[in-house]
Amino acid sequence: MARQARQSRPQLVCVLADNSGSMAQQKAQAATEGIREMIMECQSRGPGGPDRSYFKLLLIRFGEEAVIDPLCDMMPIRMIDPDCVEIDGRGGDTDITGALELALIRLRLYMQGLQRHPERAEHPLPLVLLFSDGEHNLGSGPQPVAAEIKSLNLDGDPVVIAVAGVSVGNAWPDDKTLREIASPDCYVHITNTQALAAFISSVGSSGVSRARDVAEVIKHIQAGPLQIQHLKSHLPPGES
């Protein structure tokens, strides 16, 4: 049975946003644009009404420390003003592990609730998006925490982590570590700011739950803007 977002079973999208100093200026602007576009795209899904969201958003910025945005803490997407969301690249170093740990705390409780949901067989799983342009350089490695997130499941279907390594300007993302964080085939190496914005907005609003479907969205992003529009025009019923 397909897992599709509805008012009674909204999908939780967790965005883990690199806000370290190397993300400043163009990359931060692109990330901000991508998150705002994702919010607006998600807000457009389903019937009208501020209390009829098909999505919820958890936004975690990470630099020297990881912080949950209080306005985007598991909030229904139509309750969020896109213009209030910003990535500014003022966070210093890069603590990927801290961001994953915060996400894991929220996701453990959330997944426990889904086990009791009356529509659990059709409920979409949470989707985790992470992007970074540098190496994790604070504390322990992020792979064990990422593995715990990916071990969370609903009837055997695991939570998916989609990851983008951002190589723009003088940035050199840690592709090896980021691939290990990502679910199978859900890592993409990005070399321009337009692709970063597209990754966030397109994957975050896709409504899909399975790794193979996320990988398909990523392929469309790599193929360019026309393929992204083609993808959006062919979303399954209930996700458009």
The predicted pLDDT at position 227 comes to 44
71 falls within a domain = yes
139 falls within a domain = yes
118 falls within a domain = yes
Give the amino acid at 104. Answer: L
Burial 165-187 (b: 16+ CB within 10 A, else e): bbebeebebbeebbeebbbeebb
104 falls within a domain = yes
The predicted pLDDT at position 1 comes to 59
| Whether the Cβ atoms of residue 128 and residue 161 lie closer than 8 Å to each other | yes
44 falls within a domain = yes
3 falls within a domain = no
| Residue 186's CATH number | 3.40.50.410
| Whether the Cβ atoms of residue 133 and residue 170 lie closer than 8 Å to each other | no
How far lies 223's CA from each of 177, 181, 195, 229, 230, in Å?
Answer: 24, 23, 10, 11, 11
Residues of the domain holding 181: 11-233
Q: Is the pTM of this model over 0.75?
A: yes
1 falls within a domain = no
Give the amino acid at 151. Answer: S
| Whether the Cβ atoms of residue 7 and residue 57 lie closer than 8 Å to each other | no
Strand (E) or helix (H) holding 117? none
Q: What is the pLDDT along the chain (240 residues), one digit of tens a residue?
A: 589 999 999 999 999 999 999 999 999 999 999 999 999 999 999 888 878 899 999 999 999 999 999 999 999 999 999 999 999 999 888 899 999 999 999 999 999 999 999 999 999 999 999 999 877 777 788 999 999 999 999 999 999 999 999 998 877 888 999 999 999 999 999 999 999 999 999 999 999 999 999 999 999 887 765 444 444 444 444 443
240 falls within a domain = no
The whole-angstrom separation of Cα 124 and Cα 113 is 13
Residue with tokens 């958890």: 58
How many domains in the chain? 1
